[in-house]
Amino acid sequence: MNIEYKLADVTESFVSLFEANRNILLAENNEHLNSIRREAVTSLAKLKIPGKKSENYKYTAIGDLLFEEMNHVFSPKKIEFNIEDIFSCDIPEIDTQAILVLNGFFLNQGEEITKLENGVIIGSLRAAMKSYPDLVYKHFAQYSDYKNDPIAALNTAFAQDGVFLYVPKNVKHEKSIQIIHLLLSEEDQMVQHRNLFILEEGAEANVVICDHSLSIQKFITNSVTEVFADKNSNFNITRVQNEHDKSVQITNSFIQQEQDSTVTSNTISLHGGVIRNNIKVNLNGENCENNSLGLFLADKEQHIDNSIYINHLKPNCTSNQLYKGILDENARGAFAGRIHVWPDAQKTMAYQKNNNILLSDDAKMNSKPQLEIYADDVKCSHGATVGQLDEEALFYMRSRGINERESRLLLMYAFAHEVISEIKLPALRERIDELVEKRLRGELSRCNNCKMNCR
């Protein structure tokens, strides 16, 4: 069922959209989920979609973006296509277990949800809500802060499906799990989906998320990923964003870490129209380690905004933020990082770094590296730079016979490599290395891996 709407007030329009689709959204005879949805709508109405004056969305006018008239699809739509015909993955060589999510719905290629031999449960979130309700609702919407975050509330009200992953106690799941989010539609569409990853005590897993658009229509995606990393668990999440210029992608990751856990996220933004990535981390036990890294490469009219919030709630935790951007042509980049050290969180070590290179006169970068500190025995530092490629280094290379273009590429590649080198899986790291090099050489466009030849 497609609903078109056009209302002056964007928040109001979403509330109305919810009311109009109540029967579908609340139909599942699931009072737990329904009450969360209702609360989310209430808080969305109260908080409102942030406008231009919101500090949080100062550099990305999210209200304007969401104002546009879009289709919403609240049940999976049958699209006849053979995946091999239109899409080959950017990262095919690594040994992964691939899951497809089409327009926000788990794409059924067999079982909707599977329990593997080692106890790992993986599959559709919607199916998990039916098969493993206790497991899901212990964590679902617990970390997404939908009562204070209007964008998370928006997703919580509407998202119906996505990926569910459960790794039981002390299970080290060796094979990487690759989640491929595909956008494919005959009309412009807004997509909201939701992932929930649970790692029990001592568990380990690697997830790779790839975001792709496969048709030229305009897409707005607002996704939420909740991660619960229990004591002593270890989780790596790598996201590769590669959507087309007309796409708007808002990702929201909420990561809850318990004692002695380690979570590393790498967000590689290769392509997209407007990208806004929100990562919020709660270090809720002692001796946690969090690494949040990102690399964004933007040109044309692209707009990429990363916002990272690290809450140091308990003592003896370490966090590292490293975001690097290369901006060319008319691209706009933004970074906001916040380290928040709470009064009890003594012996915190928190670092934040944002480095950016502007390659053209019309590129623009805004950076807000922030510290909010309420404990005295801490080591916190941050740094941000905006600059160019080092002219001296360029000259040095050219004087050794390397042509200017190649010299520039080498320097940009070296700049980007600091982030890539932190990707934990060697095979993935190598693939992303290649992709970034291709991207920098201008050899990678969104059409690179699409066989539709639409343009």
Partner 1 sequence: MTEQDKILNDVTQGEYKYGFHTDIETETIPKGLNEEVVRIISAKKNEPEWLLEFRLKAFRNWQKMKMPTWPHLTIPEIDYQDIIYYAAPKQNAKYTSLDEVDPELIDTFNKLGIPLEEQKSLAGVAVDAVIDSVSVKTTFSETLAEMGIIFCSFSEAVKNHPDLVKKYLGSVVPSTDNYFAALNSAVFSDGSFCFIPKGVRCPMELSTYFRINAANTGQFERTLLVADDNSYVSYLEGCTAPQRDENQLHAAVVELVAMENAELKYSTVQNWYPGNKDGLGGIYNFVTKRGIAKGDNSKISWTQVETGSAVTWKYPSCILKGDNSTGEFFSVAVTNNHQQADTGSKMMHIGKNTKSLIISKGISAGKSQNSYRGLVKVLKGAEKARNFSQCDSLLLGDKCGAHTFPYIETDNSTAIVEHEATTSKIGEDQIFYCNQRGITTETAIGMIINGYAKEVLNKLPMEFAVEAQKLLQISLEGSVG
284 φ/ψ sector (left φ>0, alpha ψ -120 to 50, else beta): alpha
Taking CA 184 as the corner, what is the angle to CA 180 and CA 189, rounded to the nearest 5 degrees? 110
Whole-angstrom Cα distance, residue 260 to residue 256?
Answer: 12
Least distance between partner 1 and beta carbon 365 (Å)? 5
Q: Which is nearer to partner 1, 38 or 382 (CB)?
A: 382
* Cβ at position 335, least distance to partner 1 in Å: 9
Q: How far is Cα 242 from Cα 336, in angstroms, rounded to an integer?
A: 22
Instruction: Find the shortest distance in angstroms from Cβ 367 to partner 1.
Output: 4
* Cβ closest to partner 1, residue 293 vs residue 345: 345
Q: Which is nearer to partner 1, 364 or 438 (CB)?
A: 364
* 444 phi and psi angles, rounded to 5 deg: -115, 110
Nearer to partner 1, 16 or 346 (CB): 346
Q: Check binding of 388 to partner 1 (CB under 8 A).
A: yes
Count of residues binding partner 1 (CB under 8 A)? Answer: 35
Q: Which is nearer to partner 1, 317 or 423 (CB)?
A: 317
If the CB atoms of residues 92 and 343 are measured against partner 1, the closer one turns out to be 343
* Closer by beta carbon to partner 1, 239 or else 338: 338
Q: Give the nearer residue to partner 1 in terms of CB position, either 77 or 364.
A: 364
The CB-of-343 to partner 1 minimum distance in angstroms stands at: 7
User: Which residues inside 333-372 make contact with partner 1, applying CB under 8 A?
Assistant: 343, 346, 356, 358-372
Nearest to 182 by CA among 137, 214, 152, 155: 214
CB of 320 to partner 1, least distance (A): 15
Q: Convert residues 286-325 into a mask of x (bound to partner 1 by CB under 8 A) and - (unbound).
A: ----------------------------------------
Q: What is the footprint of partner 1 within residues 366-385 (CB under 8 A)? A: 366-385
Provide the minimum distance between the beta carbon of 352 and partner 1 in the complex, in angstroms, as a whole number. 9
CB of 366 to partner 1, least distance (A): 5
Among residues 12 and 329, whose Cβ is nearest to partner 1? 329
Smallest gap, in angstroms, from Cβ of residue 393 to partner 1? 14
- Compute the distance between CA of residue 391 and CA of residue 393 in angstroms, rounded to an integer: 5
35 Cα distance to chain centroid: 26
Q: Does 55 bind partner 1 (CB under 8 A)?
A: yes
Smallest gap from Cβ 416 to partner 1, in A, equals 17
Give the one residue of 386, 416, 432, 436 binding partner 1; rule: CB under 8 A: 386
Q: Should residue 34 be labelled a site residue for partner 1 when binding is judged by CB under 8 A? A: no
Binding-site ranges for partner 1 (CB under 8 A): 55, 343, 346, 356, 358-388
